[in-house]
Amino acid sequence: MFINEASKLSGATQRAMRLYESLGLLSVARSGKYRVYSQENIDQIKMIREAQTLGITLSDMVALKDGSKEFDWNLVSHFLIQRQQEVESNIKELERLKLRIQQYRTSIEKCIRVLDSDL
């Protein structure tokens, strides 16, 4: 299938698909000057897009391929463990921030009540 149909099936823009290919994340067959996408290419594009939703950048993905044609799945697994730890750390930090905001709001509300009672 050509790029227009592949774009519709994968949900990626044609520009993004060309970028994935230029970065070495996608290897597409050619027929003359046209790119010919396979179902495997569509699956790869979907995987790239899903990885991006997890916060994995294209440059991260390029590094995970480590110059080879396929991903180093042990490296991918290790990377995902690190990514999960980062997310968990961010959640803890956000929980601390949420608590500080709540405490600050409580302090402000007490100040407002004291001011209102003086009037």
CATH of the domain at 15: 1.10.1660.10
* Band of pLDDT at residue 76, cut at 50, 70 and 90: confident
Bridge partners of residue 36, in order along the sequence: 29
63 in the same domain as 88: no
58 in the same domain as 7: yes
C-alpha–C-alpha distance, residues 76 and 64, integer Å: 6
31 in the same domain as 87: no
47 in the same domain as 25: yes
* Band of pLDDT at residue 89, cut at 50, 70 and 90: very high
Domain interval for residue 47 = 1-68
Angular region, 35: left φ>0, alpha ψ -120 to 50, beta rest: beta
DSSP string, 6-38: HHHHH---HHHHHHHHHTTS---EEETTEEE--
Q: Residue 95's Cα: distance from chain center in Å?
A: 22
86 in the same domain as 58: no
Domain count, the chain: 2
Q: Residue 70's Cα: distance from chain center in Å?
A: 19
116 in the same domain as 80: yes
64 in the same domain as 108: no
Inform me whether the pLDDT recorded for 74 exceeds 90.
Answer: no
Model confidence pLDDT, tens digit, residues 27-40: 999 999 999 999 99
Q: Give the position of tokens 């180093």.
A: 72
| Closest to 8 in 3D by CA, of 51, 47, 37 | 37
